[in-house]
């Protein structure tokens, strides 16, 4: 039986914000049954919406940041005994460039476990959501598929275009984890000037565009 202080890793796989894929059925939400006593759970996603995380054997490692000045490249392994990962790899180019979100919380804060509501539910009691991108598929077999992830800040060795380079357009989700704006403005024109108006002209801007790029 799960202890109340058991740490739960919740995963979401989705297309990137600039993807042109139109037939993706996601986002897909997973949790390893080893962490939940083989039960689905409900908790918030990165947008704060309550979603169901279904059981799928998943293991991960390498998220830790070391003192080597090199960003981590975690490895994420999904079970493939049902062939579902085969199908996704074939349909979506090995998931290259797909976004992987990891949310970590404790069992006592989940909204529900196996359909039973949790009295200690707390939508805000989780670590800061982590966002990664599939850099490459490392291994594929009937047992499982292994993917190497890259940080949004790590472009070393990544084949372009993984994200289109717009000079005056920000692809980040407004008030999302990359944007981090928490003011009163309810919308944003997604431009560099709009970013300056919200954060301040001399602030450390959270702008996702590339002002020196030649395209618009």
Asked if the model's pLDDT at residue 115 lies above 60, the reply is yes
- Evaluate whether residue 21 is within a structural domain: yes
| Structural domain harbouring 172 | 164-216
pTM: 0.66
Q: How far apart, in whole angstroms, are the C-alpha atoms of residue 40 and residue 182?
A: 32
**Same-domain pairing of 52 and 114:** yes
- Evaluate whether residue 156 is within a structural domain: no
Number of domains forming the structure of the chain: 2
Among 10-14, 83-87, 90-94, the range with the most confident prediction by mean pLDDT is 10-14
**Same-domain pairing of 132 and 169:** no
- Confidence grade of residue 213 (pLDDT, cut at 50, 70, 90): low
142-194 confidence digits (pLDDT tens): 899 999 998 765 544 444 444 555 667 787 788 887 788 888 988 898 888 89
Asked if the model's pLDDT at residue 32 lies above 90, the reply is yes
Q: Where does a domain end: 129, 151, 173?
A: 151
Q: How far apart, in whole angstroms, are the C-alpha atoms of residue 48 and residue 20?
A: 25
- Evaluate whether residue 158 is within a structural domain: no
Q: Where does a domain end: 95, 124, 151?
A: 151
**Same-domain pairing of 42 and 147:** yes
Average pLDDT over residues 45-58: 94
**Same-domain pairing of 70 and 133:** yes
**Same-domain pairing of 145 and 172:** no
Say what the pLDDT of residue 65 is.
63
**Same-domain pairing of 38 and 103:** yes
Asked if the model's pLDDT at residue 100 lies above 50, the reply is yes
- Evaluate whether residue 72 is within a structural domain: yes
**Same-domain pairing of 137 and 213:** no
Average pLDDT over residues 133-145: 91
Q: Where does a domain end: 123, 151, 179?
A: 151
What mean pLDDT, rounded, does the chain reach?
83
Asked if the model's pLDDT at residue 93 lies above 80, the reply is yes
**Same-domain pairing of 170 and 146:** no
């Amino acid at each position: 039986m799960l202890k109340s202080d058991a740490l739960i890793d919740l995963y979401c796989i989705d297309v990137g914000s600039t993807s042109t894929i139109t037939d993706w059925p996601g986002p897909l939400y997973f949790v390893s049954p080893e962490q939940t006593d083989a039960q689905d759970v409900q908790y918030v996603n990165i947008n704060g919406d309550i979603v169901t995380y279904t059981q799928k054997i998943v293991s991960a490692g390498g998220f830790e940041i070391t003192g080597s000045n090199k960003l981590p490249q975690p490895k994420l392994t999904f079970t493939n005994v049902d062939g579902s990962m085969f199908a996704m790899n074939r349909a979506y180019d090995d998931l290259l460039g797909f976004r992987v979100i990891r949310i970590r919380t404790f069992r006592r804060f989940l909204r529900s476990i196996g359909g039973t509501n949790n009295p200690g539910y707390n939508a805000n009691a989780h670590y800061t959501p982590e966002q990664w991108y599939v850099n490459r598929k490392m291994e594929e077999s009937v047992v499982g598929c292994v993917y190497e992830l890259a940080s949004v800040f790590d472009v070393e060795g990544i084949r372009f275009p993984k994200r289109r380079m717009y000079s005056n357009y920000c692809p980040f989700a407004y008030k999302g984890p990359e944007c981090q704006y928490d003011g009163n403005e309810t919308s944003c024109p997604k431009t560099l000037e709009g970013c300056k108006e919200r954060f301040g002209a001399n602030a450390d801007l959270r702008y996702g565009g590339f002002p020196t790029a030649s395209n618009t």
